[in-house]
Amino acid sequence: MTETDQVKSALLRYPGVARARVDRSETGRLTARVLPWGRPSGNAETGALDELAEISPTETRFLHDEIFVAESYLQGGVVLRENAVVFDVGANIGMFTLFVAARCPSATVFAFEPVPEVYQRLAANTAGRGISARLFEIGLSEQDEKIRFNFYPEISIMSCRADYAAFDNERHLIQTYVDHERAAGPEGRDTHLDAVEAILAKDFEYDQRECVLRRTSDVIAEVGAPVIDLLKIDVQRAELDVLRGIDDAHWPLIQQVTMEVHDEPGLPTAGRVDTVRALLAGQGFEVQVTEPKMLAGTGRFSVQGIRPGYADDPRPVVAAVGTGRPLDGDEVRTWLAGQVPADSLPDEVVVVSTFS
């Protein structure tokens, strides 16, 4: 590994750095440039996302904007405390795991993704970043089983158990998202939205994969987590299966839940929001339900559950909605001085918005 590669590798371990570039000039001056997470992705320059292992650039941009920019999983008062333990159920390519590491570097993440092709990207995207994460090529459910999944190469976030697929609803969701973003979303995203809409013309091409599901409580017991500060669930109509796999003995470990819930008229998920609300309330959570504006009418709801006593946890809150700090080049350089030899320390660390 070259000197510049070693410095780059160290920089990628700094919380909030998405990409890094290190160059030595002919005069010997060493300059490092770092790109932060969280900049809205546009049409021509994807910036932070360029080096991610991905299934589709279209959905990678969507995930980044939803998780890093909109902070979707920190809504409803959800926070990340120092040394938080996070279960990322439905991790996909790892965007939420990367978000947790960027905003709460002391956290430990247990990330679960059952689809082999997607899991490979999750592993690649979390490697070499100093993230405290344990990865599992499984899904969580109410019982152990092997089951067929529909894997959608063009939009893997729609992948689900074959028996839970609902193609018409997925088409409606994608069209609703595109229509909303064209009318009310940020400017400069026409190419991205055209690419999303083009998925509809391909009639949801998919392959089937055999995937492994494990009972939620069995996994909690095996990993020995003393607490679960945040249980994040986004699993395409299987969210209730995840919850029903939790034993009464393990519920007290879980302090916060943030999840997507499907409640689609005319489908087996109809009425699920009320079911989930009652289940969480029965376990002592204060529950909040919202319908994202961009997905209004699609049967997708955002649900957060927080234990009232969690506010008294003595650990400081490290991340909440709106608390993200911009990267500071001088602070990064000071930290880097403890990571690399003195003769490899860049003369300057510059925070940039794009690599030209």
pLDDT tens track for 13-59: 999 999 999 998 888 899 999 999 986 655 444 578 888 999 988 88
Same domain, 90 and 217: yes
Between CA 293 and CA 302, with CA 298 as vertex, the angle to 5 degrees is: 55
**Smallest Cα–Cα separation from 127: which of 258, 13, 283?**
13
pLDDT of 204 reads: 66
Q: Are residue 262 and residue 136 in the same domain, yes or no?
A: yes
What is the pLDDT, as a whole number, of residue 350? 95
Query: In this structure, are 289 and 334 located in the same domain?
Result: no
Indicate whether 255 belongs to any domain.
Answer: yes
Residue-level pLDDT at 299:
80
Same domain, 339 and 254: no
pTM of the model as a whole: 0.91
DSSP 120-134: HHHHHHHTTTT--EE
| Residue 24 falls inside a structural domain | yes
Amino acid (one-letter) located at 150: N
Is 46 among the domain residues?
no
Q: What is the pLDDT of residues 319-338, one digit of tens each?
A: 999 999 899 999 999 999 99
Q: Distance between CA 117 and CA 122 in Å, rounded? A: 9
Distance CA 324, CA 301 (A): 25
Low-confidence ranges of the chain (pLDDT < 50): 43-45
Q: What is the CATH number of the domain that holds 190?
A: 3.40.50.150
- The answer as to whether 226 is a domain residue is yes
73 within some domain: yes
Quick one: pLDDT at residue 169? Answer: 67
Same-domain status, 79 and 162: yes
**Residues 236, 303 within the same domain:** yes
Residue showing tokens 């987590």? 225
Distance CA 93, CA 121 (A): 5
The span from the CA of 331 to the CA of 244, in Å, is 45
* Residues 136, 27 share a domain: no
Residues 136 and 210 in one domain: yes
Instruction: Kindly state whether residues 114 and 213 are assigned to the same domain.
Output: yes
Q: What does the pLDDT read at residue 56?
A: 84
Q: Do residues 269 and 237 touch, judged by C-beta distance below 8 A?
A: yes
Residue 356 within a domain:
no
Same domain, 259 and 146: yes
Query: Structurally, how many domains does the chain consist of?
Result: 2
Quote the domain boundaries for residue 271. 58-319
User: Which residues have CB under 8 Å from 15's CB, separation 6+?
Assistant: 101, 102, 103, 105
In the prediction, which pLDDT does 200 show?
63
Verify that 98 and 195 share a domain, yes or no: yes
d(CA 86, CA 78): 12
CB atoms within 10 A of CB 2: 9
- Residue 309 placed within a domain: yes
Given this model, what pLDDT does residue 46 score? Answer: 53
Please tell me what DSSP assigns to residue 74: G
To 5 degrees, how large is the angle CA 37–CA 43–CA 46? 30
Q: 223 and 145: one domain?
A: yes
- 51 in a structural domain: no
CATH number where 29 lies = 3.30.300.30
